Amino acid sequence: MTVPPECLRGSEPSLADRAMPDSLHGGSMHLVITGADGYIGQRLTAQAAAHGVAVTVLARRPGVRRVVWSLGLPVPDAAFARDPVAGPVDAVIHLAHHWTTEGDEAADPNIGGTAALLAAARRHGVPRFVFASSLSAQPAALNRYGRVKWRIEQLLSGTGEIAARIGLVYGGPRRGMWGTLCRIASLGPVVPMVTPWRQVQPIHLDDLCRGLLLLAGAPGPVTDPAHGVAVLADPEPLSFSRFLSLVARQVADRHLVVLPVPLAPILVILHLVNRLPFLPRVERERVLGLAGLPVVASGDSLRRLGLTLRPLEAGLAAERPGRHHDRRRRALIREGLVLLGYVRGRSPEPALVRRYVRAVEVHGTGIPLPMPGLLAGWPRLMRLVEPLPASRTPGQRLLSERLHIAALLVDATPDGGRRYDYRGESPVSAVLRLFVIVALEVVAMPFRLTLARRIWR
C-alpha cells in the first residue's frame, strides 16, 4: 500500500514514556538504584528522572546525586539520606552485578554485597527492595550467574522484598546480552548455536524499566506474598533460533540460518574465538545461561502490575538503525489505513489517519503493529484475524486496544453515528442483517482461533 503524502503532514507529539502510575509523577518518590551505569541501569535511571522520581545512585564513580559504592564495600548511610523534595527512600532497585567465574561460589561478592545492601535498607526502614534476578535463577543452573542469583533470592524474606526474574532483554543500546545477540546475528548467514530449540521469553528494555518502576512504586500486592517473586518476561515463549532469526531480519536486514551444535564443541569454539582479535567476544557464562534457561509463567505477574508488553516483532523493528522515525511513522499510517478501513468499511480520509497516528503516539507505546501485507490491500480481511475478546498474548491485547482507538475515532466522524443508526429498518431487513453477521462470524471463527495467535504474538 502506498502511503498518501498528505498523511505525513502535521505536528509530531512527544514520544516520552507513558502509562506510569500517578505515584511515579511529581517527585513523589525517592529511589536508590545500583548498577545505574549498566545497560538496564542507564535506561531505568533516565525513565525514573523523566517521571519526576528522585534518584540516588550507588556507583563506583562519584557524580551528581551519586554515592560512591561497589559490591563488597560497606554501604554508606548517605545513600539513604532524605531527599529535600521527595523525602526518605521509598525503594531500592538493585541491578549491580559483578561478573566473575572464579573463587568459592558461596563467597561470591554479589551475595555478600547484596546482603550488606539489604541489611542497610532494612536498618533505614526502606519499605521496598527490588532485586534484579533472572529466569535462569535455579539452585542447579548450568552457569554460576544463575546459581548466584538463586542464592541471593533466598535472602529476600521480608515484606516488600521482591525478586524480579527478568527474561531475555532486547532493545536500546547494543550492550550486554542484547549487544552480543546483535553481533551474533550479524555473523551469518549460518551461525552455530547450542540448543537453538530452547524456549526464551523476551522483554523490551523500556517495558522492563516500566515494570521495575511499578514494582518499586505500585501500591498494593504486586507479587505472590508467599514467594516474593515477580516475573518480567513475555508470557508467550518462542525458540531461541526463531528469536535470533527475527533479530537478524529486523535489525540487521539479513536472513540467518541457525545450525544446532552440541554444547561441548560450542564451548571449545568460544574459547578459541575469544582469543582472536577483531572478532566479537561471546561470554561463556551467557551461552551457558541460554542453554539452561527454563520457561517461567509470567502472565499473573504482568496482570498484577497492569503491564502490557509490546509485540516482539514490533519492538525489534523499532530497533533498526537509519531512518527510524520516518519508517515508524509510515508503519503507523499503514496501520491506521487498515484498522480505520476495517472499522469504517471504506478508506479513511487523511485527516482521520493523522488523528489515529497521534492518538497511538500520545496514548499508547507508539510502536507499530506487525501488519501483514495482505491486510493493506484488503482491510476487510481483518475479520479473519481479529483476536477474540479473551485474547491473552501481548500482540493480541495491543491490537484490541488499537481497534478500540480506531472505533472511537470513526464514531466521532460526522457519518460515524449514522453507520449504526438502524431506526426505520424493517424487521425483515434486520433479521437478514443479523443472519449475515452470524454467518460471517461462523466462517471467520476457525481463522480467528488459529491465525490470530500466530500473527499477533
Q: 257-266, 319-328, 400-409: which has the minimum mean pLDDT?
A: 319-328
Q: pLDDT band for position 280 (50/70/90)?
A: low
Domain boundary among 246, 273, 307: 307
Assess if residue 391 is contained within a domain: yes
Answer whether residue 15 shows pLDDT above 70. no
Q: Does residue 56 sit in the same domain as residue 205?
A: yes
Output the nine-digit C-alpha cell for 73: 564495600
Q: Is the pLDDT of residue 439 over 60?
A: yes
Tell me if 254 is assigned to some domain. no
Do 220 and 346 belong together in one domain? Answer: no
- Tell me whether strands 54-59 and 30-34 are parallel, antiparallel or unpaired: parallel
The answer on 349 and 274 residing in a single domain is: no
Same domain, 228 and 327: no
Averaged pLDDT, 12-22: 39
Give the pLDDT of residue 68: 81
pLDDT > 70 in the chain, percent = 74
* Average pLDDT of the segment spanning 407-433: 71
More confident: 59 or 17: 59
User: Does residue 212 fall inside a structural domain?
Assistant: yes
- Is residue 245 assigned to a domain? no
Q: pLDDT tens-digit profile of 20-61?
A: 444 444 447 899 999 988 899 999 998 888 888 888 888 766
The pLDDT score that the predictor gives to residue 225 is 46
Task: Return the pLDDT at 27.
Answer: 46
Contact 28, 52 (CB under 8 A): yes
Amino acid 21: pLDDT = 46
What pLDDT is attached to residue 58? 86
> Is pLDDT of 141 > 70?
yes
What mean pLDDT do residues 324-352 have? 82
- Residue with the bigger pLDDT between 204 and 272: it is 204
* Of 91 and 443, the one with more pLDDT: 91
C-alpha to C-alpha distances, 372 to 77, 253, 259, 377, nearest whole angstrom: 55, 18, 28, 10
pLDDT of 19 reads 43
Confidence of residue 270 (pLDDT cuts 50, 70, 90): low
Domain membership of residue 298 (yes or no) is: yes
Predicted pLDDT at 452: 66
Residue bearing the bigger pLDDT, 331 or 33: 33
Which pLDDT does position 220 carry in this prediction? 47
Give the residue with greater pLDDT, 334 vs 369.
334
Backbone phi, psi, residue 358, to 5°? -65, -40
Identify whether residues 300 and 327 lie together within a single domain.
no
160 and 79 within one domain: yes
**Cβ distance 7 to 22 under 8 Å?**
no
In a domain, 376, yes or no: yes
Q: Which residue has the cell 528469536?
A: 243
Domain identity same for 361 and 221: no
Q: Give the range among 26-30, 109-113, 209-213, 257-261 with minimum mean pLDDT.
A: 26-30
Do 228 and 372 lie in one domain? The reply is: no
Whether 284 and 393 share a structural domain: no
**Do 44 and 149 share a structural domain?**
yes
Residue 1 lies in a domain: no
Answer yes or no: do 203 and 104 share one domain. Answer: yes
Mean pLDDT of 264-289: 63
What CA–CA distance (Å, rounded) separates 56 from 218?
19
What's the confidence (pLDDT) of residue 210? 93
Residue 276 — very low, low, confident or very high, per pLDDT cuts 50/70/90? low
| Residue of higher predicted confidence among 264 and 313 | 313
Q: How many domains does one find in the chain?
A: 2
Mean pLDDT to the nearest integer, 53-70? 75
CATH number at residue 168: 3.40.50.720
Is residue 159 a part of any domain in this protein?
A: yes
Q: Residue 144: pLDDT band by 50, 70, 90 thresholds?
A: confident
- Give yes or no for residue 130 having a pLDDT over 50: yes
Mean pLDDT along residues 168-183 = 87
Is the Cα dihedral 276, 281, 286, 290 positive or negative? negative
What does pLDDT average to over the chain?
A: 78
Domain that holds residue 284: 22-174+195-238+259-307
- My answer on whether 280 and 360 are in the same domain is no
pLDDT of 392: 64
Q: What percent of the chain has pLDDT over 90?
A: 21
